[in-house]
Amino acid sequence: MKFKSISRELIDVPEEYPAELDSVADDRDFQSIKENGIQQHLAVIAEAGRYVLIDGVRRFRFAGMLKHEAVPCDIHEVPEGEEPDTWRRTMRVILNFHRQDLIPSQKAEMASEVKRLYGLTDAQLGEKCGVSARTIRNWLAVKSFLPEIQRDLDDGKMNVGNTRVFVGLSEAGQRHVLEHHRRDLETLPPSAAHRLIRSTIAPSKHPEMYANATRAKGFVEAKKSTKRKGSSRKAFSKAQRQQLLSDYETRESEIRAMRAKSDKLEASIPAAQALTLVILRNEDLLAMVDEERRQMLRAFSEVVV
């Protein structure tokens, strides 16, 4: 891959690329390019003395609106034996995976579509995207979640690690976990939340909670059978048991303190939101803030407003 500043007149934009743009994101990015130039290079391939755009159609159009004669580009080479248009489309999707503003539900949709179009395995898609097959499976799992779970995940109220607990659950099971364990998902580490929740809805006792209870039960039994033979439960003295109980109570106290802190932070969001809007809408106040903090304020307003 080579870098080059290329005249806009030499770059062709495929007709299949979207022409309509999102007004909020466009205004933000247009202003950023107007003030700072194009910071993220466009991606192109060379073809018959010209260049075909792979990624960066919005930046390309903004450059035209701002009368930029040339744009910074990374020139990708089509691998030998690959059909250029097919490779370009694949690369466009893969580059989109690495966009920082791509939310989990969008990653899930894109991963599913790429697998369908090109017949890739999780491992093959992961290799092209620079992530593990497990990460690809985590992305794909999002498509099986209830819409409200997907919204919480997209909004950052839950993370991908914690939502793994919903994999394999029926609609009733997902709804049960969401209604009775939302707080655990938001505050506990993923492994702790997973163990706690799954222990309350074992497939042998609550088959209605699973999309395939037989398979889920077999998985649980298989995990039990893989334990090392000859192992036995460690015996604890009375003093040790008391110490463990004390540690457990201490941990519970820490969790309660963390939840209280989380509640306090959540309660402060409306005030921060109002202050942020005041600063952004007042040119005099905004002029007192450096560019880095302006971007942080704009990002915060777009998330919570």
Q: How far apart are CA 220 and CA 204, in angstroms?
A: 9
What are the boundaries of each domain within the chain? Answer: 1-81, 156-224, 268-305
CA distances from residue 9 to 12, 30, 38, 44, 54 in whole angstroms, order as listed: 8, 20, 17, 13, 16
- Residue 234 has phi, psi (to 5 degrees) of -70, 135
Tally Cβ neighbours within 10 Å of residue 81: 6
Quick one: tokens of 16? Answer: 């299949």
CB burial of residue 300 (10 Å; 0-12, 13-18, 19+): middle
Residue 203 tokens, joined: 């497939």
Residue 159 near residue 186, CB atoms below 8 Å: no
Tokens coding 215:
């398979």
Q: Where are the beta strands (DSSP E) in the chain?
A: 2-7, 11-12, 42-47, 50-55, 70-76
Strand (E) or helix (H) holding 199: helix 190-200
Spatial distance between the Cα atoms of 17 and 56, rounded to a whole number of angstroms: 10
> Which pLDDT does position 22 carry in this prediction?
58
Q: 241: which strand partners?
A: none
Question: How is residue 113 written in tokens?
Answer: 């579509």
Q: Supply φ then ψ for residue 186, to 5 degrees.
A: -80, -20
DSSP assignment of 246-294: HHHHHHHHHHHHHHHHHHHHHHHHHHHHHHHHHHHH-HHHHHTS-HHHH
**Is the CB of residue 2 less than 8 Å from the CB of residue 32?**
no
Residue the block writes with tokens 């779970």: 149
pTM exceeds 0.75, yes or no: no
Write down the residue that tokens 């109980």 correspond to: 245
* Amino acid letter, 99: R
- Predicted confidence at residue 94, as pLDDT, reads 72
d(CA 192, CA 129): 29
For the chain, 305 residues long, give each residue's pLDDT as a single digit of tens: 788 899 999 999 988 776 655 555 677 788 888 988 998 889 999 988 999 999 888 899 899 999 999 999 999 888 888 888 888 877 777 776 665 567 888 888 888 877 887 778 899 888 777 788 888 888 899 999 999 999 888 888 888 788 888 988 999 999 999 899 888 887 888 888 888 888 888 888 899 999 888 888 777 677 666 655 555 556 667 777 777 777 777 777 777 777 777 777 777 777 777 787 778 788 878 788 888 887 887 777 665 54
Tell whether domain 1-81 is in CATH 3.30.420.10: no
